[in-house]
Structure 1
Amino acid sequence: MSGRESQVAAAIREAKEQRNGALIGYLPIGFPDLGTSIDAAIAMARSGADVLELGVPYSDPVMDGLVIQDATRTALERGFRLRDVFEAVRRVREAVDTPVLVMTYWNPVVQYGVDRFAADLAAAGGAGLITPDITPDSAAEWIEVSERHGLDRVFLAAPTSTDERLGLVARSTTGFVYTVSTMGITGERASLDAAARGLTERLRAQGAELACVGIGISNAAHVATALEYADGAIVGTAFVRALRDGGVAGLATVVEEIARGTGRAPDPER
């Protein structure tokens, strides 16, 4: 991002200086309803998340697990509209300083208008987009628009990517590279960690400054292991499940527990 430190990168660097690394927390906007999802995001930030990842519910969430699919389906059934994204980001940012990234499939952005979406997100105080289904070589418009509006663009890297593609991802991404593993299932921790560790090393060799890993991380021990090689750990399903089962208060408790994996001390007021 030309001439400007990414607020997401700054938050991750601060977490690395103060602790072992960053915790990035995901929740879908509009689940179980818009107001509660906003309260939940604020609670997540106050309970230990260094960066917030707010998901846009989508009718064909091919890259999401069942818990998140169910939550986004509920949000859509209860009337989620794309304009709710900007209200949610604005209200969260009015309450906390934590950077807010929006995770979205690309079609809703195109339907809304790429420049219009970027302008409205920036006006709401959003930090940028995580775009799981577009690659840098097909994202020329988004790269130009994000630069113009001062937004981060977080692309994904997978173990199947060639070194050449990883280099393109590293050069095109701002904030952090979202490092994923496509090997095995969530329960196979050893193989998943090995794949993510190897991918992170390959990304660093290609010039990636910050890499955060999301591979079914669901507790403090997983976070601690991920931060042995990555700059941040991304948690989604565990937080969505906590909100579903225990409401905002239950979510806050789980976030605080998992945040201990970053080396964060428990809040004595909780």
Structure 2
Amino acid sequence: MGRLQGKIALVTGAAQGIGAGIARAMAREGAAVIAADRNVAGVEALAAEIGAEPLALDVTSEADWAKAAAHIDAAHGKLSILVNNAGVELVKPMTEHSLADWRGLMAVNVDGLFLGCRTFQALLAKGGSAGHPASVINVSSIAGLVGYPDQLAYNTSKGAVRHMTKSLAIEWAAHRLPIRCNSVHPGCIRTPMLEMAVEGWVREGSIPADDPWAAVAALCPLNAVGLPEDIAMGAVYLASDEARFVTGIELVIDGGWVAR
């Protein structure tokens, strides 16, 4: 306990799933957590549960990001940890992707990450030092490492997250800014987003309808579906000073899925 004591953490997409898991873990480890989401009721409920500060934030809105930065600057004067977790998924063949589908997904999964990192660079620099850099954690996916059918927009967006992370890690280091940047790549984690994807896989016949979760678990070498807490503990490590020499990496937490 206390691995993040004294740190200020902003977690996007915190109303449910992996984002909620990360927010809970960081609060337990002593961080002052700002839990952000466009689902205001959901994030307020989480904040009340864990003693965090709720923040209404649509990651596609440049104005919302600017308001968030002004608020955190006034309240804290710095930011130690930024977790860009907010994301959406689309499961259907490429020929059924409309341009509006494509652009809407990219706006959340890619533009939102860019806006967050750009908006908070100055506050992150204030929140870090040469020996204790601030930490940016971008939640990608194993779909950003390998291809999956009928997820073209999602796969592409998560590949962009991976490469943006590496580019920012090198850019901030080149400019001597005390900010580390790493990506986390979850495998099959039991979240509302994965439940939606599994429903799509059942409809297309990729997995059986009678026991789809057993089929998903069987695809993993550990024969299990992960939980948000599994990802959260990786994020805690990357956010902590234990990882002060770690930047530009991709932390894969997938039960061995992409290893075979």
TM-score grouping bracket, smaller chain normalisation: 0.3 to 0.5
Alignment TM-score, normalising by the size of structure 2: 0.36
Structure of greater Rg: 2
Return the TM-score normalized by structure 1.
0.35
